[in-house]
């Protein structure tokens, strides 16, 4: 028997172990395993009062510190989808709408987005353009504009086509 391996009697459907020594798919689910990973691994190194609130956004009082009214809200999301195009949307529309939604849920008016792209070597430019057209349309519909971005290319086989990270910034009067 392996050390630290639980034993079960009878029929069971064990939950994945949260305190795994390696990242497993469950850590990206947004559920308990994700929260455990954030609390146990990320917070000891990247904590702040905004992150400690545990929301999917941060409300920043930078404006008040500058003597202005209102606050800023910021949210960031990474998007990994297979296939890139699916009924009703694609990775680009999902990236814009998901981030805009997170900012809006803070009570802020979404205003700005940034986008980071990790592209797989060999990705057809036509595929990237389709995603960008979709992002442009979703941003226009949401009334937000892109203000910064970054692009990296990974070796063929290291990425599944295209990954997108978006950050949204909104204002609450």
Q: What is the pLDDT of residue 21?
A: 72
Please give the model's pTM, rounded to 2 decimal places: 0.73
Contact 59, 73 (CB under 8 A): yes
The CATH class for the domain spanning 54-172 reads alpha beta
DSSP characters for 126-146?
HHHHHHHHHHHHHHHHHT-EE
Domain spans of the chain?
A: 1-47, 54-172
Q: Going by C-beta distance under 8 Å and a sequence separation of 6 or more, which residues neighbour residue 116? A: 149, 150, 151, 152, 164, 165, 166
- As a dihedral over the C-alpha atoms of residue 106, residue 111, residue 163, residue 117, rounded to 10 degrees, the angle is -140
Q: What is the pLDDT of residue 7?
A: 60
Instruction: Say how many residues make up the chain.
Output: 173
DSSP characters for 95-108?
HHHHHHHHHHHTT-
Contact 117, 152 (CB under 8 A): yes
Q: What is the pLDDT of residue 35?
A: 84
Pairing of strands 145-154, 71-79: unpaired
pLDDT 10s digit of each residue in the chain, 173 long? 455 555 656 665 555 565 667 667 777 777 888 888 888 876 787 666 767 777 777 766 666 666 768 888 999 999 999 999 999 999 999 999 999 999 999 999 999 999 999 999 889 988 999 999 999 999 999 999 998 888 898 889 999 999 999 999 999 88
């Amino acid at each position: 028997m392996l050390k630290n391996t639980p034993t079960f009697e009878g029929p069971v459907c064990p939950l994945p172990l949260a305190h795994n020594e390696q990242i497993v798919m469950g850590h990206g689910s947004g559920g308990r395993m994700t929260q455990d990973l954030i609390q146990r691994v990320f917070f000891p190194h990247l904590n702040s009062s905004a992150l400690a609130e545990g929301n999917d956004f941060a409300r920043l009082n930078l404006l008040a510190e500058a003597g202005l009214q209102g606050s800023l809200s910021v949210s960031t999301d990474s998007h990994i989808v297979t296939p890139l195009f699916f009924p009703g949307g694609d990775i680009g529309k999902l990236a814009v709408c998901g981030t805009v939604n997170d900012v809006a849920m803070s009570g802020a008016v979404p205003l700005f987005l940034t986008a980071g792209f990790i592209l797989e070597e060999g990705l057809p430019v036509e595929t990237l353009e389709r995603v960008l057209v979709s992002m442009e349309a979703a941003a226009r519909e949401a009334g937000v504009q892109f203000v910064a971005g970054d692009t990296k290319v990974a070796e063929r086989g290291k990425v599944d086509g295209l990954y997108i990270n978006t950050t949204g910034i909104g204002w609450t009067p």
